[in-house]
Amino acid sequence: MKRPEIAALIAGSGLPEGLKTYLASALRRGRPFSFTAALKKEPAGFVGAVARLLAGAAAALGRPPGEVLFATGFDGSNLAPHRLEAALAELLAVLLLREQGFSELQLIGTNSGRTADIAARKDGLRWAFEVRCLSAGGKLDGELLGGKFDRKLPQARNAMKKYGFDRAAVVLAREPWRFAGFEPDPALAALAAAARPPGKRQAAVHLCLADRGRFGVYPCW
C-alpha cells in the first residue's frame, strides 16, 4: 500500500482524531519510530490492532475509548520519539493487569505529580506500576533488561514511600500493538528473574516482561 492510501486509511479509521493527526504526521515526515515499519507493512492490521487495544483499555478503565490514550499523557501534536509506543505500552499493561486479577485500575497521568504510571489493587494491596516500551526487534537481553529495571527502580520505590503503595512493579513491553490475548511464558519469567537479581532494595518491586502477547513476572504477583 502506498503512502497516500495509508493516509486515507488512517483518516477513515475510527481512531481518535489526535491519534490520526499523529500517525499522519509521522507517516508524512518519515519519522523512524518503531511502529512506522508495522504501519507501512500492514497498515490495516496496525490500525485495527491499535483500535482493539484502545477499546480493551477503555473497558478495563471504565472510560470512553477516545479518552484512554490521552489519559497517559499522549499528545497528538508532540512528535517526540517513542511517545506513542510508551502510551500504548501503558494501555497494554492495563489489559494485562486486568487479566491477572487486578482491580481499581487507574492511569495516574503525567500531570498528577506522582511518579508511577498505573495504580491498581490486588488481594487488599495497593500497587504502583512503572511502564516502559522496549525497542522493536532484536533479542531480549538480560543485561539490557536489568539496566532498564534499575533505572525505573527508584521511581517505583518512591511511589511506595511517598504515596503509600504496598507493592510496585516495573513493566517492560515490546511492540504493544502486536498483542492478541496473554499467555504466560516460563522463559520470560526466567529472564525477568535473571534481569532482576534478588536484593533488599527491590524486595517489593516486581519485574514483568510482556512481548507480543506473552508475559512473565518475577517474583509472581
Range of the domain at 202: 3-218
Q: Give, in order, the Cα–Cα distances in Å from 196 to each of 128, 150, 206.
A: 17, 8, 8
Please count the structural domains in the chain: 1
Task: Please state at what angle helix 3-11 crosses helix 17-29, rounded to 10 degrees.
Answer: 170
Per-residue pLDDT of the chain (221 residues; tens, 9 = 90+): 888 999 999 999 999 999 999 999 888 877 667 788 888 889 999 999 999 999 999 999 999 888 999 999 898 888 776 889 999 999 999 999 999 999 999 998 655 555 689 999 999 999 999 999 998 776 788 888 999 999 999 989 998 988 899 999 999 999 998 887 899 999 999 999 999 877 767 778 999 999 988 999 999 99
* pLDDT value for 111: 53
